[in-house]
Chain A
Amino acid sequence: MGPQHPSTHGVLRLEIVTDGEIIKAAYPDLGYLHRCFEKHAENREYLQVVPFTDRLDYVAAMNQELGYCLAVEKLIEVEATPRAQTIRVIVSELQRIASHLLAIGTYSLDIGGFTPMLYAFRDREHILGIFEELSGARLLYNYVRPGGVARDLSRGLEEKIREFCRYFVPQLVEIEELLSGNAIFMDRTCKVGIVSPDMAVAYGFSGVNLRGSGIDWDLRKVRPYSGYEKYEFSSITATLEHGVIGDCWNRYNCRMKEMHESVKIVEQALARLEAGEIMAKVPKAIKATGEVYLETECPRGNLGYYIVADGSKQPYRVKVKSPGFISLACFDELTSGMMLSDIVAFIGSLDFVMGEVDR
């Protein structure tokens, strides 16, 4: 299966041993999208790495940038200004909504629902429009920088984001209505690909995949960064509404619910937005020594950056701990005994992006 299979979300190749329609073993074959990010980063200045981090997880570029910039800030011991931090929260939550919309839209498309995909893409388009006005690009923003953000909110954009929040909630409820209780959707997702809580922890799952297995672990709550401790929101864990804890439906449902929370955070952040500088004082050529590891909560899980600095302008080593790579590890164990058509539902529910898996 793959590497160009429409349901593998990128270029994932799966070697599958089957007995009729029942899978005996499945091995993910990675590396089709390997672009030497980590080696490239060793030969670029700290600031020049930021555009490359966009290209890791191109669906949630803002969150990837934020993770890297926070790690660099920790390295050079600079903190972003309050306004920059609030803007960062706004953009990363909007990006989370956009990423989850894409995940849910393509997921429903994979298992046979066409309408939710169109609705999700229509709403995602508004977010991309906001980002285009904010940063100048629609997908690869290069917006978050070590020390702050690149541009201030342009005139009227605040109101536009507020408008979007008002508009988006009823639309989200509509998509939810289309999918969550649908008998066909539930037949395809409930009790499929069950990741038990113990197993999720053993494999090192994170983010929605872990919370879908019923374990409450949200880095925004546990280890707040960028001022997340000031916002009121709840981390969503799986409930026994339908199916079994840890199945595809619960992972999907966590994503759906998390978007509501993200809207709440964006609204709070807009109310909190204060005037001020958007860039802290950062030396023009960043030089540092030491090493730093920092994890942030991305739409796909906990993304970690490990940076070793040797005092030169360029990082000595940048290592990315990507959540998608970890969720792929469970394939062999979980898919044996599964039907061939269920593997499509399973892949979609894990929601990985190959750009970040292969790097």
Chain B
Amino acid sequence: MNETQGSLKQYFANIREAVTSVSKGMGITFRAFLKSNGMRKQLGSVDYGAGPVTVSYPEVKDDIPLNSRNRLFNHVEGCIACNQCAVICPVECITIDSRKKTADENLDERTPAEFGSKPKKLKLLRYEIDEALCCFCGLCTEVCPTECIVHTPEFEYSKYDRDKLTYDYLNFKDDNPLPKG
């Protein structure tokens, strides 16, 4: 509320102030209009400045960094069922069942050079992640000793049924194409 109204002088001063300040704002709008007509600013690797900023999403996709944390994926062939990811998960969305391997069983299809000092001692019976619960904090990927559980940049996996968001990685199937990596 402007309480300085009253005198005639103040009245015109108010009008002048309003016109100048609004025209200042309009000047910025006009500058932006000129810029969008071809005068695009290129600054280093990123295209900043005027011009369309919106990405028309389903047709055009924005570049997502490779290390962005979206849907989890477990490479079960590398998993040693150590249960560390299930323990660290703050929302308890990972379920692991395993049993001890028998003496004549060889669980590793990999060469010792590949698995290093972490051979498989447990047979993985169940590895499920409820992606509806997952909070994408990335703690499980950090504790994993074999680095077989990873966040993928895949984020388009919405389903009509919430049960379908529980992924069983021992027989992984999904409508969406499998992430590579």
Residues of A within 8 A of B (CB): 44-45, 47-52, 115, 122, 125-126, 132-133, 135-138, 140, 142, 150-151, 154, 156, 159-160, 163, 166-167, 174, 177-178, 181-184, 187, 190-192, 339
Across the interface, do B53 and A122 meet the contact criterion of CB distance under 8 Å? Answer: yes
The verdict on B137 contacting chain A, using a C-beta distance below 8 Å, is: yes
Interface SS, A side: helix
| Contact of B28 (CB < 8 Å), options: A125, A135, A166, A178 | A178
Q: A115-B25, A115-B29 are in contact. Are A136 and B90 (CB under 8 A)?
A: no
Which residue of chain A lies nearest to B141 when distances are taken between CB atoms in the complex? A136
Q: A48-B88, A51-B90, A192-B1 are in contact. Are A133 and B24 (CB under 8 A)?
A: no
Binds A, one of B62-70, B123-131, B172-180: B62-70
Give Cα A132–Cα B151 distance, bound, in whole angstroms: 13
A sample of 16 cross-chain residue pairs with beta-carbon separation below 8 angstroms, ordered by A number, consists of A49-B90, A126-B46, A137-B68, A137-B136, A138-B68, A142-B137, A142-B138, A151-B67, A154-B65, A156-B45, A167-B49, A174-B28, A177-B24, A177-B25, A187-B1, A192-B1
Give Cα A122–Cα B137 distance, bound, in whole angstroms: 26
Which residue of chain A lies nearest to B135 when distances are taken between CB atoms in the complex? A51
Give Cα A151–Cα B49 distance, bound, in whole angstroms: 29
**Which residues of chain B are near A184, meaning CB under 8 Å?**
18, 21-22
Across the interface, do B21 and A183 meet the contact criterion of CB distance under 8 Å? Answer: yes
Chain A nearest CB, measured from B35 CB (Å): 11
Which residue of chain B lies nearest to A51 when distances are taken between CB atoms in the complex? B137
**Which residues of chain A are near B1, meaning CB under 8 Å?**
187, 191-192, 339
**Which residues of chain A are near B43, meaning CB under 8 Å?**
163, 166-167
Q: A48-B139, A137-B68, A178-B28 are in contact. Are A160 and B46 (CB under 8 A)?
A: yes
Give Cα A115–Cα B33 distance, bound, in whole angstroms: 13
Across the interface, do B29 and A47 meet the contact criterion of CB distance under 8 Å? Answer: no
Across the interface, do B24 and A136 meet the contact criterion of CB distance under 8 Å? Answer: no
Give Cα A138–Cα B49 distance, bound, in whole angstroms: 21
1/0 per position for B14-36, CB-CB distance to A under 8 A? 10011001101100110000000
Q: Which of B59-89 contact A (CB under 8 A)?
A: 64-65, 67-69, 88
Across the interface, do B53 and A136 meet the contact criterion of CB distance under 8 Å? Answer: no
Chain B nearest CB, measured from A173 CB (Å): 10
**Which residues of chain B are near A47, meaning CB under 8 Å?**
88, 139
**Which residues of chain A are near B18, meaning CB under 8 Å?**
183-184
**Which residues of chain A are near B29, meaning CB under 8 Å?**
115
The verdict on B12 contacting chain A, using a C-beta distance below 8 Å, is: no
**Which residues of chain B are near A135, meaning CB under 8 Å?**
69
| Further contacts, 10 of them, CB under 8 A, given A137-B68, A150-B142, A187-B2 | A47-B139, A136-B65, A136-B151, A137-B69, A140-B135, A140-B137, A160-B44, A174-B28, A178-B28, A181-B24
Across the interface, do B22 and A183 meet the contact criterion of CB distance under 8 Å? Answer: yes
Across the interface, do A191 and B3 meet the contact criterion of CB distance under 8 Å? Answer: yes
Give Cα A187–Cα B29 distance, bound, in whole angstroms: 21
Most central of B25, B29, B49, B68 by chain A CB within 10 Å: B25
Which residue of chain B lies nearest to A40 when distances are taken between CB atoms in the complex? B90
**Which residues of chain A are near B142, meaning CB under 8 Å?**
150
Which residue of chain A lies nearest to B137 when distances are taken between CB atoms in the complex? A51
Give Cα A163–Cα B49 distance, bound, in whole angstroms: 12
**Which residues of chain B are near A181, meaning CB under 8 Å?**
21, 24
Q: A44-B90, A48-B88, A126-B48 are in contact. Are A182 and B136 (CB under 8 A)?
A: no
**Which residues of chain B are near A166, meaning CB under 8 Å?**
43
Give Cα A154–Cα B67 distance, bound, in whole angstroms: 10
**Which residues of chain A are near B137, meaning CB under 8 Å?**
50-51, 140, 142
Across the interface, do B25 and A182 meet the contact criterion of CB distance under 8 Å? Answer: yes
**Which residues of chain A are near B48, meaning CB under 8 Å?**
126, 163, 167
Which residue of chain A lies nearest to B49 when distances are taken between CB atoms in the complex? A167
**Which residues of chain B are near A125, meaning CB under 8 Å?**
53
Q: A136-B68, A178-B25 are in contact. Are A159 and B88 (CB under 8 A)?
A: no
